Chains A and B, each alone.
Chain A
Amino acid sequence: MPKIDQDSITSLILKSGVILSLFMITAGVVLIFVRGGGDGMTISQIANYYNPENPVTSKSLLPANFLNGLLHADGLYFISVGLWVLIFTPVTVLIDALVTFGHERNKLYTLLDAIVLFNLLIAIFVIPRYIG
């Protein structure tokens, strides 16, 4: 079996993440312009990012509603998923590297990678409960 080139896999994950994310974001922007809004908000409400009190922020877009938003061709959710693809791209790289370090029986770097992943998952799943 040919040796799998780890650096090429990392490169591929990074590239696909960016392309997928840009595709979703662009689709979302087009949908918002075409449909004149998203998530029950008009486009002028969504586009008013000059107002710090604007209710349309990431806080109102819960990941639990992402799938439903996508199924309803809601532009705001397309953008949200695109942005989360960006956040998950480095997570995927870390998981892939974790598997590689494990295969190489590199205990120290398996542990270090696991700590980094742990930090990221804490930031995604635990800290949000205590803020806002």
Chain B
Amino acid sequence: MDPVSILLSFISVIVAGFLAGLLGSLTGLGGGTVLVPVLTLFLGIPIVFATGASLISTIATSAGSASGYTKSKIANIRIAIGLEVATTTGAIAGSITLIAVYKTGLIWIIYVIFGLVLLISLVPTINRARFELPKKMKPDWTTRVFNLYGSYYDQKLKKQVDYHAVRWWLGEIVMFFAGFISGLLGIGSGALKVLGMDWAMNLPMKVTTTSSNFMIGITAATGSSIYWFAGYIQPFLAAATAIGVLAGAYLGSKILVRITNVRIRWIFFWVLAFLGVDMIFSGVVKEQGLPSTGTVSYIGFAVSIFISIVLLFLLYVKVRRDSRHA
């Protein structure tokens, strides 16, 4: 490659990282979930290098945004560290599984799982944030033993909110899977972490999203070091994605507060749904041993657009119906 095309390729990866960081931040799914499909589907980068670059870039975005949340005392560091017992264990298991899958040559499975996880994560992400505070639940024995109490100042509600978490054990179980997915797919798996704290432990949404963001860095660091020694991190690629994703996520967090129109987010969700379906399609194409360029990729593109529109339409109808009943 000549120096000019090297520079252009490097810039295109930074731009891909930037878009992934921006979209990941605006939808709340995180940069990695968008970055891996963009790198593999559009830039033709091998999925192992894509997952490696994604996971290590995730630490940068997590640390960057969490530094703000922890200072304003919304994230609950104590509860987050307690849950990291499960996520780091899961991350170790997930990374080792990825190595095993890669060695057996069944890498197409990673594409399919990635696509499915992306599509499934969309459901709680879209449903999220409709209620600021959870329904009151009585403290259980884990609330007392693990001291799961906290409080934060809610700027939107303009009051100090006291809260407590329940079902610590269920949170840990969900977090193990969140860590596993993080290590297996090279993403922060923020959607699953939010599920663990919101659905399982009944924490307020603000505490959940900010604490999950803080946790992502610790989980991703565990997987990244295993990826490093397995050779899944291509340093030049990871340099470009780390810079791009961080910049994109930063801009995303700045404009997120200004986006009041909820409908605009549906366009972002559609892009994510498209990436998810296209990942599954690519996995199936690889399994069949078909070439992933030319006619096959055009068919995949068309099919993915069609299916993602149908999926999102169904989800939109469901959300509309739910909110009318509420």
Number of A positions contacting B (CB below 8 A): 64
Within 8 A of B (CB), among A44-81: 44, 46-52, 54, 56-61, 76, 79-80
On whether the beta carbons of A86 and B56 are closer than 8 Å, the reply is yes
- Could you tell me the distance between the alpha carbons of A12 and B71 in the complex, rounded to whole angstroms? 9
On whether the beta carbons of B71 and A91 are closer than 8 Å, the reply is no
Given A52-B48, A58-B228, A116-B81, A14 contacting B63 (CB threshold 8 A): yes
Given A47-B9, A48-B1, A120-B218, A113 contacting B81 (CB threshold 8 A): yes
Q: Which of B118-126, B235-243, B298-306 contacts A (4 or more CB under 8 A)?
A: B235-243
On whether the beta carbons of B225 and A124 are closer than 8 Å, the reply is yes
Given A58-B231, A119-B85, A94 contacting B218 (CB threshold 8 A): yes
- Could you tell me the distance between the alpha carbons of A97 and B78 in the complex, rounded to whole angstroms? 9
On whether the beta carbons of B236 and A119 are closer than 8 Å, the reply is no
1/0 per position for B232-257, CB-CB distance to A under 8 A?
Answer: 11111111101100100000000000
Q: Which residue of chain B has the shortest Cβ distance to A60 in the bound complex? A: B231
On whether the beta carbons of A87 and B67 are closer than 8 Å, the reply is no
Q: How far is the CB of A1 from chain B (nearest CB, A)?
A: 21
Which residues does chain A contribute within 8 Å of B9, judged by CB atoms? Answer: 47
Q: Which residue of chain B has the shortest Cβ distance to A25 in the bound complex? A: B239
Contact of B91 among A28, A29, A76, A123 (CB under 8 A): A123
On whether the beta carbons of B60 and A18 are closer than 8 Å, the reply is yes
Q: Which residue of chain B has the shortest Cβ distance to A29 in the bound complex? A: B239
On whether the beta carbons of A50 and B46 are closer than 8 Å, the reply is yes
Which residues does chain B contribute within 8 Å of A11, judged by CB atoms? Answer: 66-68, 70-71
Whether, in the assembled complex, A4 has its beta carbon less than 8 Å from a beta carbon of chain B, the answer is: no
Contact of B88 among A12, A61, A123 (CB under 8 A): A123
Q: How far is the CB of B246 from chain A (nearest CB, A)?
A: 7
Whether, in the assembled complex, B52 has its beta carbon less than 8 Å from a beta carbon of chain A, the answer is: yes
Identify whether the interface residues of B are mostly helix, strand, loop, or mixed.
helix
Within 8 A of A (CB), among B1-44: 1-3, 6-7, 9-10, 44
Identify whether the interface residues of A are mostly helix, strand, loop, or mixed.
helix
Q: How far is the CB of B101 from chain A (nearest CB, A)?
A: 13
Given A87-B221, A120-B218, A57 contacting B88 (CB threshold 8 A): no
Which residues does chain A contribute within 8 Å of B95, judged by CB atoms? Answer: 123
Which residues does chain B contribute within 8 Å of A22, judged by CB atoms? Answer: 60, 242-243, 246
- Could you tell me the distance between the alpha carbons of A131 and B92 in the complex, rounded to whole angstroms? 12
A-B CB proximity, top 10 nearest: A59-B231, A128-B229, A119-B88, A58-B233, A14-B67, A52-B46, A11-B71, A57-B231, A49-B237, A15-B67
User: What are 26 A-B residue pairs whose CB atoms fall within 8 Å in the complex?
Assistant: A15-B64, A17-B63, A28-B235, A29-B239, A47-B10, A47-B236, A49-B237, A52-B46, A57-B231, A57-B234, A58-B233, A83-B233, A83-B238, A86-B60, A86-B224, A87-B56, A89-B221, A90-B218, A91-B221, A109-B78, A109-B81, A116-B85, A116-B88, A123-B225, A127-B92, A132-B231
